[in-house]
Amino acid sequence: MWSDMASKLVSKLFRSSLLTQAAPPPSSKLLLLQGRCGVLAGTAARLSSSGGPPERISRYPVPYRKNLPYDIVELMEEVEAKGGFLPNVFKVLSHRPAEFRAFFAYYNELMNKDTGNMTKADRELIVVATSIHNRCLYCVVSHSALHRIYSKKPTVADQVIVNYKNAELSPRELAMLDFAMAVCRCDTITEEHFRSLEEVGFDREDAWDIAAIAAFFAMSNRLAHLTDMRPNLEFYNMGRVPRDKHKEKAEDQH
């Protein structure tokens, strides 16, 4: 229910942003990355960057929040409150607010949908495999972290980064990544590609999802190259060791 509500709010925000730059503030429950915020909470909140001067995260100016539209600031604050930190992609893309809204609206449709035969871990694995092909540090690091959390497998993403063909993947995952990489490389897509997916349980709508994720992140990877976007340090360790819930509860009580 929450996923449906969030998707409707995202769609409403995106439509209103096309009509006017002075749209009324959206509901405080607007979360384009609602699934991510939940899994980040309690993990990243206890990880922080080392001391020193502020890190450089983009070669383009990052706006001060006071100069950003209300709806974007509200989203940033919600994500930061839920996850314990604000992923740098929010800061970097806020340089262009209208494109920020369009980017996260489409991101939400691709990565947070609950239809079809793909899990959230599947979607994150596609991002990791295609982003390493495109040499995108930000997406490889951040989406490897999300894959570790969703899959509960702390080593698979690292294996995929080196060579997905040799990674500990199921036949289903391997076929999925083969198709995603064909799209990523701009190979000629044939009926044989679709048959390979169907043999492991995917249908043609799943093929569209796989291709759309590969295509969307090809764009995202190139924006990260352009801006020299840097991943938050918090992402590197996320999901690598099991959470000690008893220790976290004791820390919260103190």
What are the tens digits of pLDDT across the range 140-159?
999 999 999 999 999 999 99
88 touches 230 (CB < 8 A): yes
Place 252 in a pLDDT band, splitting at 50, 70 and 90: low
Both structure tokens of 100: 């920020």
Place 247 in a pLDDT band, splitting at 50, 70 and 90: low
How far apart, in whole angstroms, are the C-alpha atoms of residue 4 and residue 52?
42
pLDDT of residue 115: 85
Asked if pLDDT for residue 2 goes beyond 60, the answer is no
How far apart, in whole angstroms, are the C-alpha atoms of residue 22 and residue 32?
20
DSSP secondary structure code for residue 94 in this structure: T
Mean pLDDT, the chain, as a whole number?
Answer: 84
Residue with tokens 């995929």: 160
How far apart, in whole angstroms, are the C-alpha atoms of residue 185 and residue 140?
17
* Domain covering 58-242 in this structure, CATH number: 1.20.1290.10
User: What mean pLDDT comes out for the span 172-185?
Assistant: 98
Q: Tell me the per-residue pLDDT of 33-81, one tens digit each, with 9 for 90 and over.
A: 544 554 454 444 333 344 444 578 999 999 999 999 999 999 999 999 9
- pTM for the structure as a whole: 0.79
Place 94 in a pLDDT band, splitting at 50, 70 and 90: very high
Percentage of the chain with pLDDT > 90? 71
Place 22 in a pLDDT band, splitting at 50, 70 and 90: very low
What is the b/e burial string over 111-128, where b = at least 16 CB atoms within 10 angstroms of the residue's CB?
bbeeebebebbbbbbbbb
Q: Tell me the per-residue pLDDT of 195-233, one tens digit each, with 9 for 90 and over.
A: 999 999 999 999 999 999 999 999 999 999 999 999 999
- Other C-beta atoms within 10 Å of 80: how many? 16
pLDDT of residue 33: 54
Percentage of the chain with pLDDT > 70? 74
Contacts by residues 92-98 (CB-CB < 8 Å, ≥ 24 positions apart): 92/57, 92/58, 92/60, 92/62, 92/227, 92/229, 93/223, 94/62, 94/63, 94/68, 95/58, 95/60, 95/61, 95/62, 95/63, 95/227, 97/68, 97/69, 97/72, 98/17
Q: Tell me the per-residue pLDDT of 105-136, one tens digit each, with 9 for 90 and over.
A: 999 999 998 888 999 999 999 999 999 999 99
pLDDT of residue 241: 86
Residue 113 DSSP SS3: coil
- Other C-beta atoms within 10 Å of 97: how many? 17
User: What mean pLDDT comes out for the span 170-198?
Assistant: 98
Q: What is the CA radius of gyration of the chain?
A: 19
- Other C-beta atoms within 10 Å of 179: how many? 23
Q: Cβ contacts of residue 14 below 8 Å, gap of 6+?
A: 101, 102, 105
User: Domain coordinates of the chain in residue numbers?
Assistant: 58-242
